[in-house]
Amino acid sequence: MAVVCRPARVDDLKRADEIVVASINELTERRGFGKMATSHPPNFQAFSLRDDSEGLWVADEDGEIIGFAWSWVCGELWFLAQLFVSPGRQSDGIGRQLISKTFDHARMRATSIRALITFAFNNVSQGLYIRHGLFPRFPIYMVSVPRDQLASRLAEPRLHLEPLTAKTARFDELAVIDVSALSVSREKHHRYLLGDSTTSGFTIHAGSDCVGYVYISEGHIGPLAVLRQDLVGSAFAAALSFAARSNSPNISAFVPSASEPALKAATDYAMRLTFPMLLMSNRQFGDWVSYLPRNPGFM
Ligand SMILES: CC(C)(COP(=O)(O)OP(=O)(O)OC[C@H]1O[C@@H](n2cnc3c(N)ncnc32)[C@H](O)[C@@H]1OP(=O)(O)O)[C@@H](O)C(=O)NCCC(=O)NCCS
């Protein structure tokens, strides 16, 4: 039976997400980390499809979806959010077919930066990406702590958070922070997050100066970005203080190993390293001291 890679349609996205969740959990359980993924409505995928339909592909075998690839573009940055093949169908060339479609997307948009976040413990994905010119840069740790343990350790934060909404957001100010941290503006992604009812956005302030932003969703912190590297530890501590007042049983974040102050804060607050991930890219980019991603798909 022939496997065809075709553009994804909106009604493919739920099934594609089921494959992604199954594929992640098969891998993380096989490597002894336990289950990592749970299903969510594919809202960001649907947003990306509306924004740029050439970034989402499915591998289809006689009407059954067995693989999914999804990339998005912001300015010069092409980011591979997901590349997954059904657990029973891996190592048969399907990932190679999907990646070639998604690299066509990067070429079409003429982006100079190509990047992704993969599992630090998956030799197959890393081998595939290295073969395509994306090289390992540094680990990114998913960190987590039970909320009741965190609450007892927190001191009064040095920086304060102010609510950010679609109505009040100064998108030009957010763009300055993103260009400083990532070298591209992510205005459309701020608009997406600010429209998501499960996510709260904040600007981060030192006195009257806006020095960064952070989003928090069900106890998960990220993305977080600050204008200066020396602010990231305090900004992360302020986000932890806010998250500690929620009802979420666990508080979590993604912390790049390049961000020593954030990693130190995570350790000081007894956060455990749960999943080691890895940033891969075709070249160095961004200031990963000052930026904590949301997850491997959103970056
Ligand atoms: C990663 C994944 C998408 C690859 O898809 P696939 O259909 O299994 O892979 P393919 O058969 O098309 O290609 C395999 C390629 O991986 C690379 N590879 C496999 N094992 C490797 C190893 N031990 N060392 C280095 N490279 C390896 C090779 O480049 C190989 O191509 P080749 O056989 O021509 O040499 C799939 O295995 C998967 O879904 N894995 C679990 C989830 C995951 O890690 N996804 C990536 C998230 S960013």
**Whether residue 84 has its Cβ less than 6 Å from ligand 1:** yes
152: Cβ below 6 Å to ligand 1?
no
Predicted model pTM? 0.96
**What is the C-alpha to C-alpha distance for residues 244 and 116, in angstroms, rounded to an integer?**
30
Q: What is the per-residue pLDDT for 156?
A: 85
Position 174 scores a pLDDT of: 98
C-alpha dist (Å) from residue 148 to 157, 180, 198, 218, 220: 18, 35, 21, 15, 15
How crowded is residue 273: how many other Cβ atoms within 10 Å of its Cβ?
Answer: 14
With a 6 Å cutoff on the Cβ, whether 91 touches ligand 1 is yes
Question: DSSP alpha helices (H): ranges in 163-206?
Answer: 171-182, 187-194
Note whether 20 and 82 are within 8 A (CB).
yes
- Rounded to whole angstroms, how far apart are CA atoms 224 and 201? 10
**96 Cβ below 6 A of ligand 1:** yes
CB-based burial of residue 76 (10 Å sphere; 0-12 exposed, 13-18 middle, 19+ buried)? middle
Confidence of residue 34 (pLDDT cuts 50, 70, 90): very high
Are 57 and 101 in contact by the 8 Å Cβ rule? The answer is: yes
Fold agreement between 3-111 and 143-292: yes
The pLDDT score that the predictor gives to residue 219 is 96
Q: What is the pLDDT of residues 47-63, one digit of tens each?
A: 999 999 999 999 999 99
Pocket test for ligand 1, best of 128, 132, 275 (most atoms within 8 A of CB): 128
132 and 96 in contact (C-beta within 8 Å)?
no
Q: What is the rounded average pLDDT of the residues 11-34?
A: 96
Q: What angle do CA 283, 286, 290 make, to 5 degrees?
A: 150
- At residue 20, does pLDDT exceed 90? yes
Mean per-residue pLDDT, 111-139: 97
pLDDT score at 157: 87
Which residues fall within 8 angstroms of residue 118, CB to CB, at 6 or more apart? 125, 126, 129, 277, 278, 280, 296
For the chain, the first-to-last Cα distance in angstroms comes to: 36
To test the pocket of ligand 1, the residue of 25, 90, 124 to mutate (highest count of ligand atoms within 8 Å of its CB) is 124
Which protein residue has the closest C-alpha to ligand 1 atom 29?
128
The predicted structure's pLDDT at residue 144: 97
Cα dist from 136 to 71, 222, 231, whole Å = 18, 22, 26
In the predicted structure, residue 294 carries a pLDDT above the cut 80: yes
297 C-alpha to ligand 1 centroid (Å): 18
pLDDT of 96 over the 80 cut? yes
Give the pLDDT mean for 23-32. Answer: 96
Tell whether the model's pLDDT for residue 124 goes beyond 80.
Answer: yes
Q: Which two tokens stand for residue 251?
A: 């508080």
Of all atoms in ligand 1, which is nearest to the CA of residue 97?
Answer: 12
Asked if pLDDT for residue 265 goes beyond 90, the answer is yes
Separation CA 50–CA 42 (nearest Å): 12
Q: Is the pLDDT of residue 95 over 90?
A: yes
Ligand 1 site, residue 210, Cβ cutoff 6 A = no
pLDDT band at 153 (very low <50, low <70, confident <90, very high): confident
Minimal-distance CA residue to ligand 1 atom 18: 124
Domain-by-domain residue ranges, the chain? 3-111, 143-292
Whether 152 shows a pLDDT value over 90: the answer reads: no
The per-residue pLDDT for 154 is: 82
CATH number of the domain at 143-292, please?
3.40.630.90
Span 256-268, average pLDDT? 97
Q: Considering the domain 3-111, what is its CATH architecture?
A: 3-Layer(aba) Sandwich (3.40)
